[in-house]
Chains A and B, each alone.
Chain A
Amino acid sequence: MKTIRNFVCILFLVSSLNLMAQEYSQELTGGSDLTVRFENVVADLYIEGHTGNKLTVEATGLEPPPEKAAGLKALKRTGLDNTGLALNIDEYDHVIIISGGSSEQNLSYKIGLPEKVNLVITNTWFYQEKNLEVHKMKGEIEINRQFGKVNLFDVIGPVVATVNNGELNVTFSEVNQESPMSLISSQSDIDITLPAGSKATFNLAAGNGEIYTDLDLEKIVEEKEEMDLGDLKVYSPSVGKFINPKVELNPDVLLPRYHYNYQFNKGDIFIDTLGFFNRALNNYYIGNLLYSGWFGGYDYKGTLNGGGVEIKIRTQNGNVYLRKSKR
């Protein structure tokens, strides 16, 4: 009986040792200047930020290599498996690159990272439908994936993400005002939640879908300054500041090059690059008068709480959801 109990104890110890072997950890030096790049890691990823400075990896569902591979190491996209977890982790000039994983069905990694580091997660292989979850990261997050669900919780951004098929859900704990954000998808919904008091300027487009929100957005009315060009009406949202109201424009004289090429219609929008101008005469020479009716084609441009960092959201065949956070 005793031997059996001992045996069970040993078995338990061995199996827990075995579990221990499924973990990996590494000290990281650096903070916001450090980028951790996941290069086509084939597995579900759960990434969580913490205040320490360790990179930890915990693998579940990892199956041992075939017997034939005894004494050999798996070769991953960026190098040999140097973690024992089917991952290669390497560092080049402030960038930690992680590649590997395996196409076994239930492999997943739980990864702990210092919250300040920047994240880049790419998976451009179209056949890999793996899911990604990121929690509490305070650095920049860049995501480029063809397939799979992407969920970001308690992040502050900037977030720059492309998820073509799957889902893109982002919950902001606050909205970092430092640099612009961009979220795009060709096939899926984009669902954003942010604190009601955040400042942001939204450019929203939902091609064949709809935009839904409970935020108090204020539509941006583009300034238009009209000028009389004889029969032509010229106005420009972005350029009003360059065009002096005193300007005298004669369409026959001042539109040399584009006069022949383009059929101007009333109400056309012109954007200038002023070829050159003669300040002494207070006269502008419009050499490169531009025509464009397409400025990125956004359905709605609006501000939240007076405007702030620019957030562009565009999906072609999904909906856009913009929500207030509930807490």
Chain B
Amino acid sequence: MNCNDVVNNLEAYFSEMLPEETRKAMDDHFSSCTDCRTKLEELIRLEELIVQIPFEDPEENLKNDFVEYIDSERKRIMLLGSERFYVGWKRILSLTVAASILFFFLGYFGGQLLSKPGIEEEQIIALQKEVRETKNMMILSMLKQSSASKRIMAVNISEELDRLEPELREALFLSLNGDKSENVRLAALEALSRYAGVPEIREELVKSFSLQTDPIIQISMINMMVNLKEKASVPVMEKLIADETTYESVKNQARQGLKLLL
């Protein structure tokens, strides 16, 4: 069983719907493959969290309405059933879906009506989300400005965010690799370095390292890579040292860096 099979069967495994054999094969795989084990653990964790979300009781009369609705539906189905004697599974499925959607909305609005203080909290979360989205948009549009100072400002605002959305990450890398102003490129590097713990970002940073030609950014990159103990940067530094056009001060820094990394 390979990783692909495991991933395909993950949901089924998790909901214990697999035949004994497949299940055993997957257990074996998990004990040998860290990646897949991590995926499973994440799924378990997600489930734990979902279970922990408090269930909000709908308001009493809403509940009654809903029960009545279900009753009437049931009667209708019974009637249909008596007529046709057979209710197609699709119909049942669509009813289940309808009921679950309805239940969701009833629960949601009922819950909202019932717990007034809770609304405030939700509003705060919504507001935080809105602020983040607005900031994201602002940053993205500011990065397109012709003023270098405004672009630096945009990069700085991104440092205030508690996470880096993919589009913003892309925009920052675009700045780091292609902005006309070296100052903006340096600011983008500083902002991105805060997220250097995220493997994908770190990988991108190493890639970007090999693209840089400005001495001050090269030096900053070397310092950062040494600080992160990033072994993948070793070939880039070796290349810098071998390159005739590299500034002598950059070469020195790279030599120092290599000593610490190797």
Is chain B a partner of chain A in the same complex?
yes
Q: Is the CB of A185 within 8 A of B216?
A: yes
B146 touching A258 by the CB < 8 A rule? no
Tell me the minimal C-beta distance from B95 to chain A in angstroms.
31
Interface membership of A290, Cβ < 8 A: yes
Tell me whether B41 and A256 are in contact (CB under 8 A): yes
We find that the number of chain B residues with CB closer than 8 angstroms to chain A is 53
Can you list, as one digit per residue, whether each of B205-242 has a CB less than 8 Å from chain A (1) or not (0)? 00000000011100110011001100000000000000
Contact with B along A261-290 (1 / 0, CB 8 A): 110000000111110001111010100111
Choose, from A51-59, A104-112, A312-320, the stretch at the interface.
A312-320
B75: Cβ under 8 A from any A Cβ: no
B181 within 8 Å of A by Cβ?
yes
Interface stretch of the complex, out of A10-18, A19-27, A156-164, A216-224: A156-164
Partner of B219 from the list A207, A271, A280 (CB cut-off 8 Å) is A207
In the complex, the chain A residue whose C-beta lies closest to that of B201 is A290
Question: A144-B180, A182-B183, A187-B249 are contacts. A316–B227 as well, Cβ < 8 Å?
Answer: no
A140 within 8 A of B: yes
| Contact stretch, chosen from B8-16, B49-57, B66-74, B97-105 | B49-57
Interface assignment of A251: CB less than 8 Å from any CB of chain B:
no
A242 and B162 contacting across the interface, CB-CB below 8 Å: yes
Question: Is A144 within 8 A of B181, CB to CB?
Answer: yes
Q: Are B249 and A316 in contact (CB under 8 A)?
A: yes
Q: How many residues of A contact B (CB 8 A)?
A: 60
Determine which of B49, B149, B162 lies in contact with A179 in the assembled complex, contact meaning CB atoms within 8 Å: B149
Bound Cα distance from A187 to B214, whole angstroms: 12
Q: Does B144 touch A at the CB level, under 8 Å?
A: no
Cβ of A160 and Cβ of B183 under 8 Å apart?
Answer: yes
A260: which B residues are within 8 A, CB to CB? 34, 38
- Check B223–A297 contact: CB distance below 8 A: yes
Using Cβ atoms and an 8 Å threshold, which residues of chain B touch A238? 159-160, 194
Q: Evaluate contact between A180 and B152: CB separation under 8 angstroms.
A: yes
Asked whether B261 is an interface residue with its Cβ less than 8 Å from the other chain, the reply is no
B49 touches which of A182, A207, A278, A295 (Cβ 8 Å):
A278
Chain A positions 59 through 97: 1 when the CB is less than 8 Å from some CB of chain B, otherwise 0: 000000000000000000000000000000000000100
1/0 per residue B113-143: CB within 8 Å of A? 0000000010001000000000000000000
Q: Are B196 and A290 in contact (CB under 8 A)?
A: yes
Check A184–B49 contact: CB distance below 8 A: no
Flag if B181 contacts A297 (CB, 8 Å): no
21 cross-chain CB contacts under 8 A? A35-B146, A140-B149, A142-B181, A158-B147, A158-B149, A161-B183, A182-B149, A182-B152, A182-B187, A184-B183, A184-B186, A186-B216, A207-B219, A208-B249, A242-B162, A262-B197, A271-B197, A285-B49, A290-B194, A296-B189, A316-B253
Q: Which residues of A contact B (CB under 8 A)?
A: 35, 95, 118, 140, 142, 144, 157-158, 160-162, 164, 178-187, 207-208, 238-239, 242, 253, 256-258, 260-262, 270-274, 278-281, 283, 285, 288-297, 310, 312, 314, 316-317
Residues of B whose CB lies within 8 Å of any CB of A are 34, 38, 41-42, 45, 49, 52-54, 121, 125, 146-150, 152-153, 156, 159-160, 162-164, 180-184, 186-187, 189-190, 193-199, 214-216, 219-220, 223-224, 227-228, 247, 249-250, 253
Known A35-B146, A285-B45, A294-B196; further 8 A-B contacts with Cβ < 8 A: A140-B147, A142-B147, A142-B181, A161-B183, A207-B219, A280-B52, A280-B54, A316-B216
